[in-house]
Amino acid sequence: KAGVTQTPRYLIKTRGQQVTLSCSPISGHRSVSWYQQTPGQGLQFLFEYFSETQRNKGNFPGRFSGRQFSNSRSEMNVSTLELGDSALYLCASRPLRSISSTDTQYFGPGTRLTVL
């Protein structure tokens, strides 16, 4: 079974621009989460989506948004980019067989975003 895939793998943008990152979860997985990893803050949770709805959100400004499609694929958008948004953005998926299940989350390779 193919793993979580993310596109693009590398991206360079300038301040003020916006960016959209894409994530395809493992086949059959219904939940997609996004994380940001920076050298200073480490790995931080951004948000989780399932059933095309944001279910859980981390402590990030409104410039960070996302969506999920009916096939569980997800996109993450960052508007008005700042230098501090340079990071590795990671997508992770889990089966979500039921709300009470103990799922394991599997990560994609990440998208390396550099803001100049």
Partner 1 sequence: DAKTTQPPSMDCAEGRAANLPCNHSTISGNEYVYWYRQIHSQGPQYIIHGLKNNETNEMASLIITEDRKSSTLILPHATLRDTAVYYCIVRASGGSNYKLTFGKGTLLTVNP
* Single residue of 40, 42, 59, 62 touching partner 1 by CB under 8 A: 42
Q: How far is the CB of 16 from partner 1 (least distance, A)?
A: 26
* Residue 99 sits in the site that holds partner 1 (CB under 8 A): yes
* Single residue of 13, 30, 55, 67 touching partner 1 by CB under 8 A: 55
**Residue 83 φ then ψ, to 5°:** -55, -35
Give me the amino acid identity at 25: P
Stretch that binds partner 1, among 13-21, 27-35, 61-69, 74-82 (CB under 8 A): 27-35
* Residue 60 sits in the site that holds partner 1 (CB under 8 A): no
CA 113 vs CA 21, 27, 41, 85, 106: distances in Å:
9, 26, 16, 8, 21
* Residue 106 sits in the site that holds partner 1 (CB under 8 A): yes
E strands in 1-116: 5-7, 10-13, 19-24, 31-38, 42-50, 53-57, 64-68, 74-78, 87-94, 106-107, 111-115
Which residues bind to partner 1, rule: CB under 8 A?
4, 31, 33, 35, 42-45, 48, 55-56, 58, 88, 90, 92, 94, 98-110, 112
